[in-house]
Amino acid sequence: MTPIKIILIIFLLIVLRAFLVQKSLILTNRIIALVMFFFLLFLVLFPSVSTFMAGLVGVGRGVDLIFYFSHLFLLFLIIGLRRRTVVLTDMVTKLSRAIALQNPHKPHDENAQMHEKAQ
């Protein structure tokens, strides 16, 4: 086994563990994570399979195919994360505004109060 295979397998195991330790992860997602893990493990152990798959869709090398797909995957991930950030920012804005508006410090200066009364 070449060193790169060992590095990749260790990395895959770390990622798998990171998924499975999440208590909130539902069963379907656990299964998806496991299937993905074994699929990627398979590709690491038998790289020629990815080259065969690449040939099927008109890409020269298996590495290139994985490169393209990982780029697409990351792009979708970024869009998803950005959307999530936007939603969260909006929530924080609304919360902060509500807190600020619920706790106003009104003027207590004498002149100001006289002025308020005069109006």
Positions in the binding site for other proteins (CB under 8 A): 82, 86, 89-90, 92-93, 95-97, 99-101, 103-109, 111-112, 115, 119
| 3-state class (DSSP) for residue 1 | coil
Cβ of 95: how many Cβ atoms within 10 Å? 10
Nearest approach in angstroms of CB 83 to other proteins is: 11
Write a three-state SS string for 16-45. Answer: HHHHHCCCCCCHHHHHHHHHHHHHHHHHHH
Nearest approach in angstroms of CB 74 to other proteins is: 18
Considering beta carbons, is residue 64 or 90 the nearer one to other proteins? 90
Considering beta carbons, is residue 5 or 115 the nearer one to other proteins? 115
